[in-house]
Amino acid sequence: MGDETVGIAVAQFAPAGSREANLAHIADATRTATRRGARVVVFPEYSSYFVDPFDASLAENAEDLDGPFVQALTALAADLDVVIVAGLLERADDGRRVRNTVVAVGADGIRAVYRKLHLYDAFGQRESDWVEPGEIAPPQTFDAHGLRFGLMTCYDLRFPEVARTLADAGVEVALVPAEWVRGPLKEHHWRTLVQARAIENTFFVAAADHPPPLGVGHSIIVDPQGVALAQVGTATDVAVAHIDPDAIARVRRVNPALALRRFRVTPR
């Protein structure tokens, strides 16, 4: 182990149609995570507001980046000396659709903002009916506690190029807020894809999901060889892994796959 490890938490809960209740849960879970040594806490996709099925209330409850949700996260992060990563229902330009956004917030305010690139138009769902896709932009990263973190969201896990662009940006821990919808083999897909993104990029992945009945649960933190370090089952709970930053260099000395690549990712 290196001289210092860094505590990373995944906080699994079911966001609902009450922004106040969601923030109250985030505050409680963040306090639990920090008591267990977490310095970065990852919450699910749509943490600020969520209803199933989607309806017009999404746009009615969307906020700007300087709105009350982010302000509350900033105050909480300052109080507990932690970085909080959570899904935000962000107001879009057309007034009908919203943006599926992830914010990383520290005591000094927003550290990174990521808008979901790949919308969930699959398995009988049509996220794009309600959500505006994110524009292709440079990877969203932030540095904390000697590590570089990068953001992606849920369905992006099925597109390995997203994680690869994070690796190219020097990311050492990919953070993945999600609402991984339940269905046949979906738990298998979730775990396999989280581990694959870690293995092929030789970095850590921390992925936070909604619990059943809508999500699969199984929020998880895996190391650069895809080994689970900490995880939640199907309950509402927090899992913390104390990761060793030196592990990345050790794995890459043995498995220099990133250095041996012969292809690069380019936008479509």
Give the active site residues. 45, 116, 154
CA 119 from chain centre, in angstroms, equals: 15
SS3 103: strand
SS3 188: helix
- Whether the CB-CB separation of 56 and 26 falls below 8 Å is answered with no
- Whether the CB-CB separation of 132 and 96 falls below 8 Å is answered with no
- At residue 238, what is the residue type? V
Q: Residue 71 belongs to what H/E stretch?
A: helix 68-80
d(CA 223, CA 231): 12
d(CA 238, CA 230): 9
Of 71, 18, 20, 82, nearest in space to 238 by CA: 82
The token duo for 138 is: 């440079």
d(CA 158, CA 76): 32
Beta bridge partners of 239: 10
The token duo for 99 is: 């943006």
- Whether the CB-CB separation of 195 and 202 falls below 8 Å is answered with no
